[in-house]
Structure 1
Amino acid sequence: MKTNLDEMLAFVTVVDSGSISAAAEQLQQTASGVSRALSRLEEKLAVTLLRRTTRRLELTEEGEVFLAQARRILDSVEEAEEQMALRRQVPAGRLRVNTASPFMLHVIVPLIGEFRARYPQIDLELNSDDRFIDLLERRTDLAIRIGVLPDSSLHARPLCASRRRVLASPAYLRHHGMPATVEALTEHSLIGFTEPESLNEWPLRHAQGERWKITPTLRASSGDTHRALALAGQGIVCLSDFMCGADLAKGDLVEVLAEQRTELLQPINAVYYRNSALASRITCFLDFLSEQMGNKSADTVH
């Protein structure tokens, strides 16, 4: 075989990370070393895989074809290594987990210490995105998604559910007053999401139904930004218990219109793309999350 695995890994990592410098940091190598690996690979294959400009790297047609093959080869090698670990009955290898930033910070991160103590041979890679990602393209083993899942070929494992509440800080309510009705919200500063628009439908019962579509006076893309703005007294928000349960317990946030709240539970699922038997490192992480969250009520997932 002309090419070697290190050269393939350098190529795939450059494509996935978007630059040679980012790939070098991820691979813990020098940028010049990664660049030389790419040059050797192209020389051995006698093709150009990447077009290099001052601003970006772009795959050639040959690069697209080789990328798909290289991914399959690297995945096969990783699976073979996993099988050897299974023979020792010790889950091992890299586990790539992706979820929204608030869920990562408020739920996953506090559990990582115990997971690593149980499975020291698993190398965790934690990534956050506020949008759904393509697991295969991003080489992600497992994603945790909040809300109703779109139709998909991905396998899903339910973990728990979390309630959404309308919240404000005591300082905001002292200054602006507690709204007495759902309709009175129109007189307040309402913090909404830039997308998806469905998150701007709050679970509040009113004369026309059980969801109130707000017109935000301030928008933000991240739930953590909403939380920070609410804590700073900038307006009223609607967020999940997993993010704000501790704030409610301490009194830093107060529920607004609690008697009008409808029970809108957001399902939380782990999704993965492998059709064959799950790798042991994925299985043990799924089992661990189910153990930690699956038996909790929506009130306690925070």
Structure 2
Amino acid sequence: MKISLEEMLAFVSVVDTGSISAAAEQLQQTASGVSRALGRLEGKLAVTLLRRTTRRLELTEEGQVFLTQARRILASVEEAEEQMALRRQVPAGRLRVNTASPFMLHVIVPLIGDFRAQYPQIELELNSDDRFIDLLERRTDLAIRIGTLADSSLHARPLCASRRRVLASPAYLERHGIPVSVEALEGHSLIGFTEPESLNEWPLRHDQSDHWKITPTLRASSGDTHRALALAGQGLVCLSDFMTEADRTRGDLVEVLAEQRVEVRQPINAVYYRNSPLASRITCFLDFLSERLRGKIK
């Protein structure tokens, strides 16, 4: 049977205070409890650590050797506890964050400078995937996911929401004309996603439904590829506002069929496993994102 820290602490306290009763007072325990802890320790080690006389306690040779090691172990435990307490006060350590490439580039990256200035002891590791990943398998502390969540084993913290709208470049519309109805899209170059297929349902109201299932003329897996193709005048796209705000402000992309747009907002959540209290480095990143994204993405 392995010895416990409680037994080791009882032994060191008795040595330091000079008696079992004094050690008991220091540890806020009963004298009998400290005596039993010492007895268990000696039994597990199969040695006598303290020689008890009527007037005092003396260390045996084995006790002297064990005392040195016990002090070192207890000091290491105390140091570890202090380090954890310090981390709670000053978040530190590696933080692995995963999200889709467009959200990483257009939302997270512009905020990183401020976050690092505020939390210089946190070592960030930023990874991008355009599909959902297994957090445990990829050793990820935190993932940011866009759309409806399906994994019930994850805890989620809502960050914001973003609408999708149909866009094209002025150059494309000048060459091919502006579609005046949802049905007129069939005569245009439509850029769709390779997966998931649900992203090829555009939030446009028409006679039969509140969404329009497109037949893509051109497909790509990444939202940033869609954006680049649209900016290059290759067709119409349906993208989240967080990716195109600057483009729309500059007039590089303009909305098409705005009156037919259905207000569908994609939820954006931070997800993580939580089997114990969250590390402070994760909590502070969540709080930072929540504050910065509140009301910023529409």
TM-score by length of 1: 0.71
| Matches of 2:151 and 2:277, distance apart in 1 | 22
Render the CA deviation track for 1:53-112: whole Å, top value 9, x for unaligned.
Answer: xxxxxxxxxxxxxxxxxxxxxxxxxxx979724335110000000000000000000000
**Any idea what SS the aligned residue of 1:106 has?**
helix
Task: Name 1:50's counterpart in structure 2.
Answer: none
Task: Name 1:214's counterpart in structure 2.
Answer: 214
The one-letter code matched in structure 2 to 1:295 is: G
| Matches of 1:262 and 1:82, distance apart in 2 | 54
CA-based RMSD of the aligned residues comes to 1.4
| Matches of 1:110 and 1:257, distance apart in 2 | 30
List runs of 5+ in structure 2 lacking aligned partners. 1-78
Task: Name 1:277's counterpart in structure 2.
Answer: 277
Task: Name 2:242's counterpart in structure 1.
Answer: 242
| Matches of 2:189 and 2:270, distance apart in 1 | 35
- CA separation of 1:81 and 1:162: change in aligned 2, threshold 3 A: farther
**Any idea what SS the aligned residue of 1:185 has?**
helix
Cα distance, 1:151 vs structure 2: 3.6
Render the CA deviation track for 1:10-37: whole Å, top value 9, x for unaligned.
Answer: xxxxxxxxxxxxxxxxxxxxxxxxxxxx
Render the CA deviation track for 1:32-52: whole Å, top value 9, x for unaligned.
Answer: xxxxxxxxxxxxxxxxxxxxx
| Matches of 1:264 and 1:245, distance apart in 2 | 17
The one-letter code matched in structure 1 to 2:219 is: R
The one-letter code matched in structure 2 to 1:259 is: E
2:242–2:297 Cα contact (<8 Å) kept: no
The 5 A counterparts of 1:223-242 are 223-242=223-242
| Matches of 1:162 and 1:81, distance apart in 2 | 43
Flag as ranges the 4+ runs of structure 1 deviating above 4 A. Answer: 80-83
**Any idea what SS the aligned residue of 2:225 has?**
helix
The 5 A counterparts of 1:241-260 are 241-260=241-260
Cα distance, 1:224 vs structure 2: 0.1
Task: Name 1:175's counterpart in structure 2.
Answer: 175
1:101–1:129 Cα contact (<8 Å) kept: yes
The one-letter code matched in structure 2 to 1:213 is: K
Task: Name 1:204's counterpart in structure 2.
Answer: 204
* 1:158 matches 2:158: yes
Task: Name 1:130's counterpart in structure 2.
Answer: 130
List runs of 5+ in structure 1 lacking aligned partners. 1-79
**Any idea what SS the aligned residue of 1:234 has?**
coil
| Matches of 2:196 and 2:208, distance apart in 1 | 22
Larger Rg: 2
1:97–1:127 Cα contact (<8 Å) kept: yes
Identity of aligned residues (%): 82
1:166–1:237 Cα contact (<8 Å) kept: yes
The one-letter code matched in structure 1 to 2:117 is: A
| Matches of 1:100 and 1:82, distance apart in 2 | 37
- CA separation of 1:81 and 1:206: change in aligned 2, threshold 3 A: farther
Task: Name 1:84's counterpart in structure 2.
Answer: 83
Task: Name 2:112's counterpart in structure 1.
Answer: 112
| Matches of 1:81 and 1:188, distance apart in 2 | 64
Render the CA deviation track for 1:146-193: whole Å, top value 9, x for unaligned.
Answer: 001114200000000001000000000000000010000000000000
TM-score by length of 2: 0.72
Aligned length: 219
Cα distance, 1:295 vs structure 2: 3.3
Task: Name 1:149's counterpart in structure 2.
Answer: 149
The one-letter code matched in structure 1 to 2:238 is: C
| Matches of 1:145 and 1:125, distance apart in 2 | 17
| Matches of 2:207 and 2:134, distance apart in 1 | 41
2:241–2:297 Cα contact (<8 Å) kept: no
1:190–1:217 Cα contact (<8 Å) kept: yes
**Any idea what SS the aligned residue of 1:268 has?**
strand
* 1:286 matches 2:289: no
